[in-house]
Amino acid sequence: MSTFVKYIVNEYNRIKFSENLSRIKDAGFDGVFISSTKSMSLPDSANWRSDFLPISRMIDLACEKGLKTGVILVCFHSPSLWKQDSFSPPVGFSGAAYVPDDWYHPICPNNPIGLEYFYRLIDKMARISAPDYFYLEYLRFPFFWEKEELDVQNRVPPFCYCPFCVTEFSSVVGEIITSPQQIIEMMPEWLQWRSTTIFNAIIDAKLTLGKNSKLIISLPPLTLIDLPFTTGQLPLAITDEGCFVSPYLHHKQKKKNLMWVEDLLDQYRLDMKIRKILPCFEASTRKELDKYISWARENVFPGVIFHEWSKLRDNL
Ligand SMILES: [Zn+2]
């Protein structure tokens, strides 16, 4: 079993980065997952191209240290895109535009600007030194799981109901949709269509990036049964395509304990091949790290990912 740690970098500094890689290696990790874009966008920057880090150099450095590599791709979230004049925000079922009240800036997967961003991102990443893994983040649109709880009473899926989505859906079902209320009558078709939208994005990423690297799709901490309705993600179809899934099990962020982590993973284990799951744990001490590693070893996961190096490094 391989152990990985995420290392989110905001500014690239070769010496600092190299020192941290050595410490990651010394701490016993087999590999590092690095961000392809800066964790915070520049103030007033509407140019998302300026968000990119020199990722090829960073991968080469990690390889030189004898570390396996993963690159985190932020797919449908970008504060920089929100600053562009031509950008239009996602729209909720009630018709109200999404208003970010925190760091999360979701992008509709059918918004042309969002799609352009996604395809440029994967095309750009196809040209870098191939890492062992690409880690696709923020496909969970628009579920802000870090702050929100799943509303099980909600009968309308929290997807986007913007004009791009409604127009696209109209053309798929061959009927003119003028209001989100009409969608309620076509719920099975709507759910299938939105899942297909997300699934096709994953397939395209696999075709573009999957030749020399394996793909991991991150999932919010939800049970398998809740994922398609809430996020449009289909974990079983994703693994059938040869991708891995990585459920986020950030127990501290969610104010939960290890039991919560075990329960969620048990449900994955029942329905899914264990060799396809790389859980992402939250650890900030050596004790927590070791506890999760020995527990994951017993469960024969192919690997585990820890969030996040900056929080861990001074406690090891
Ligand atoms: Zn939309």
pLDDT tens across the length of the chain (316 residues)? 999 999 998 889 999 999 999 999 999 999 999 998 876 655 455 566 667 889 999 999 999 999 999 999 999 998 888 988 999 999 998 899 999 989 899 999 999 999 999 999 999 999 999 999 999 999 887 788 888 887 767 778 888 999 999 999 999 999 999 887 889 899 999 999 999 999 999 999 999 999 999 999 999 998 888 888 888 899 999 999 999 999 999 888 888 888 888 888 888 888 888 899 999 999 889 999 998 999 888 888 999 999 999 989 998 8
d(CA 194, CA 312): 37
Nearest CA to 164 out of 189, 200, 204, 193 is that of 193
Based on the structure, what is the number of domains in the chain? Answer: 1
Residues lining ligand 1 (ion), CB within 5 A? 108, 110, 160, 162, 164-165
Contacts of 176 by beta carbon, 8 Å cutoff, 6+ apart: 170
Q: Quick one: tokens of 81?
A: 């895109």
CA of residue 243 to ligand 1 center, whole Å: 26
CA of residue 264 to ligand 1 center, whole Å: 30
CA of residue 220 to ligand 1 center, whole Å: 20
CB of 124 closer than 8 Å to CB of 52? yes
CA of residue 158 to ligand 1 center, whole Å: 11
d(CA 252, CA 151): 20
Question: Could you tell me the pTM of the whole model?
Answer: 0.93
Q: What is the pLDDT of residue 307?
A: 93
Q: What is the pLDDT of residue 145?
A: 82
d(CA 153, CA 157): 10
CA of residue 156 to ligand 1 center, whole Å: 15
d(CA 187, CA 164): 18
d(CA 257, CA 237): 29
Beta bridge partners of 218: 246
Residue 77, helix vs strand vs coil: strand
CA of residue 236 to ligand 1 center, whole Å: 25
Q: Residue type for 87, please?
A: F
CA of residue 289 to ligand 1 center, whole Å: 39
d(CA 266, CA 247): 12
CA 25, chain centre distance (Å): 25
CB of 282 closer than 8 Å to CB of 252? yes
Which residues form the domain of 133? 2-315
Q: Quick one: tokens of 181?
A: 């209320």
CB of 299 closer than 8 Å to CB of 274? yes
Q: What is the pLDDT of residue 50?
A: 67
What is the rounded (10 degree) CA torsion for 64, 72, 48, 53? Answer: -10
d(CA 195, CA 231): 8
Q: Quick one: tokens of 129?
A: 């030194």
CATH number where 63 lies: 3.20.20.80
CA of residue 33 to ligand 1 center, whole Å: 30
Nearest CA to 238 out of 265, 202, 270, 213 is that of 202
Q: What is the pLDDT of residue 43?
A: 47
